[in-house]
Amino acid sequence: MKKWCCLLLAGILFLFALPLQTKADGVEGDVNGDGVVTAADAAALFRYASGLEDISGTSSAIADVTCNLSVTRADVRAVLLYAAGRLNSFADLQGEIEGTLLGEEYLDLFSYTGAIKTETGYRSGKVSVNISQMKFRDSVCYIADIYIRDISCLRTAFSNGKYEGKRQKVKRIAADNNAAVAITGDMYTMNADGAIVRNGVWYQDGRACKKKDLGVLYADGTFRCIDRNSMTLEELKETGDIWQLWSFGPMLLDENGDTMTEFHCKSSILGKHPRTAFGYYGPGHYCFVLVDGRQRPYSVGLRMEELSELMYELGCAAAYNLDGGQSATMSDGQRIINSPSGGGRTTTDIVYVGEPLQ
């Protein structure tokens, strides 16, 4: 009995000693073993990740702060974030990146210590928006560069919160939906024939691609433009799990991502006008583009061909034209970012970025 009690006590002491021993073996991210995580550890990690130096098994476990069983440049960025005080723990980071659209990419673009909203953007653990202004041709353009980790962060909203609700200004709809940034949608009530899908819900089947090019955002974060008359409604539904479907257009880049000179739209909208466009780089990376117009000498507006060139120069793989003209507005819910023609007008819907759905 006495021998059994001694063995039990020894076993308990061994179990309590395990965490202490593991901690003594090294601090997570402390590659150089000096007891603290600093930029020097990131420098050492960079050499390991670049193959300039070999790393031991023990050091590799300490260095793999993203827990993907390998030491990569994502670990370098994570250690830099921690050293700069932008990350409270590596466990927080692992919870944000696991199973997301971006994975370990663009770690430094997000905020891990709370949401940050400024006049030029918004950052949180799931959303990164940077808004900039540029001049293209003779027009002032606003670009919202968007990174999201969850597809539900890129949503649409109806005016007055319901399908076919009374029209409202973009700023009002954006504020009601806590948008980080929002733009005019596709004025879906003018779309009697096309399909309408919003936030994964089919509101109208329509005749799909019979009259207008479609812009289709899928639940896996991919986006494509579908040429009008290129497929049936049944074929469209088989292309994937559709998250958003816009029926306005036209598409602004061809299937190879090159500029276009001919478009499927009325000739009256090909000239210089205020513009709203959606751009796609890859799953989780998008842009909203707003071009002011009809305001000489401040900003004239872009022809459709020039808008195509702008989206190409921004590096988009695909791009889609949304409702422009006097409707063209970008807002963060607190202010109107651009200068809408004629002060802007009410609309039926917005495309916006916000925190993910719970």
Number of structural domains found in the chain: 2
Across the range 328-355, mean pLDDT stands at: 98
- Whether 197 and 284 share a structural domain: yes
Angle at 117 between CA 172 and CA 73, to 5 degrees: 130
Identify whether 319 is part of a domain. yes
Choose one of 98, 131, 159: the last residue of a domain: 98
Asked if 135 and 90 sit in the same domain, the reply is no
Using a 10 angstrom Cβ sphere, with 0-12 exposed, 13-18 middle and 19 or more buried, the burial of residue 247 is buried
User: Picking from 53-67, 175-189, 287-301, 340-354, which range would have the lowest pLDDT averaged per residue?
Assistant: 53-67
Instruction: Answer yes or no: pTM beyond 0.85.
Output: yes
pLDDT band, residue 68 (cuts 50/70/90): confident
Same domain, yes or no: 69 and 127? no
Same domain, 133 and 274: yes
* Whether residues 216 and 284 fall in one domain: yes
Beta-carbon count within 10 A of 258 CB = 9
Task: Answer whether residue 9 shows pLDDT above 60.
Answer: no
| Alpha-carbon gap, residue 103 to 222, rounded angstroms | 15
Q: Does any domain span residue 222?
A: yes
* Same domain for 63 and 206: no
Query: From edge to edge, which strands make up the β-sheet containing 201-204?
Result: 201-204, 196-198, 242-246, 214-218, 223-226
Give the tens place of pLDDT for each residue, 34-57: 999 999 989 988 998 888 888 776
Cα–Cα dist 287/150, whole Å: 15
Domain of 126 in residue numbering reads as 121-353
- The reply to whether 205 and 298 lie within a common domain is yes
Q: Please indicate, yes or no, whether residues 244 and 130 belong to a single structural domain of this protein.
A: yes
My answer on whether 160 and 296 are in the same domain is: yes
**Rg of the Cα atoms in the chain:** 25
Residue range 167-196: mean pLDDT, rounded: 94
Decide if pLDDT at 19 tops 60: no
Does any domain span residue 114? no
Statement: residue 104 has pLDDT above 50: yes
